[in-house]
Chains A and B, each alone.
Chain A
Amino acid sequence: MIHVENLTKYYNDFCAVDRISVDIHKGEVLGLLGPNGAGKTTTLRMLTGYFMPTSGTIRVKDYLLDENLLEIKKLMGYLPESAPLYHNMLVFDYLDYVAKIRGLDKDQRAVRIRQLVDLCGLGEIMHRSIHELSKGLNQRVGLAHAMMTDPEILILDEPTSGLDPNQIVEIREIIRKIGEEKTVILSTHILSEVEATCDRVVIINNGKIVADDHVENLKQTAGQKHFIHLELCNAGFQEVCRGLNGIEGVVNTEQIDDTPGSSLRVRLACESAVDLRETIYQTIKQTSWVLIGFHLETKTLENIFRELTKED
């Protein structure tokens, strides 16, 4: 669907995006992840034709970006960061204007705007001026703008930034619904968002791709250790260390919470080749310690992200 090759963008001497190559397939929800200033927005702006790349090619379907920009724009819906809409227009006027520019005729406009009102929940605010809207409502109008012609490709730049938790859930719901049929590219620095909405994640840092994989694969492959959390009563840290470090595969034991009088919380770092939970349980069973908490820490995207984008 979208084929990006060696995409590079320089702002004067500063290299914002450095030779990015990525293939995005039809029906994929791709999350572009990275710390602030990693080059996410610049990449999306080049994909939409707002910025011209310094070098590299972008191909959408059979169109080359620098030759058939107009055709590509017709296929794409784009929501820039913080949805900068014309704030002196009414919501209805704005959507009607976008529909006109997108080439819908009068009847289609009426039908499509009504659909979008339902999808994005704009019913109450159609006749309000855009500058009166709260951030979340503004964002929803922006989303309606992007989806005006039911585009095949939807590009969303930080679609949930500045929204409250309820609105975030709503917007994610909408994105997931669209993502069932359409190609969606969204950028974010919120990791749970990627886990909640994306099939595939591309992590960029300093303008370079540092990871590109499915969310599940990424969680499995990154890192060599996994962690087991234990909560014990009637046990001292020293003896627990002695007892558990003897098990083969346990790399080290550390105390997490040392408030006196409370139970002992420890974290065991284990090699991830084998599952040690059973062995650990058997070991504890032979002592007088009382086991009151026991869980395996699952690899979160957060750890992976931090590992990959750490400044050396």
Chain B
Amino acid sequence: MNDDASNSLPLAPAALHILLSLAAEDLHGYGIMQDVARQSEGKYKLRPGTLYDNLQKLIRRRWVEELGQKPGDDDPRRRYYRLSSLGRGVLAAETARLASVVREARLRLQVAKPRRA
């Protein structure tokens, strides 16, 4: 799993956002789109073509599982998706990678500031 995860990093923005959406709860496609828009405060808009293309890949990699329809949903055509443990591991690895990038960036920006003064 570690190999798979490290080979796949860094994640493409669409994949990252999708995994992030599913990390909190199981969602259908439209739910993922809305959650991604919310995460990025509307700056990143995921359209169905990109969404399902990425879902297709994520399912193939077994990072995301397809749960099928949920009884009682107002639209029977919707299917729900869940983050697998594998996907969760990948997301954790990516988050750690990003965190180190952010840490490094902050460090450098802080060092650079006094010079400019």
A and B from one complex: no
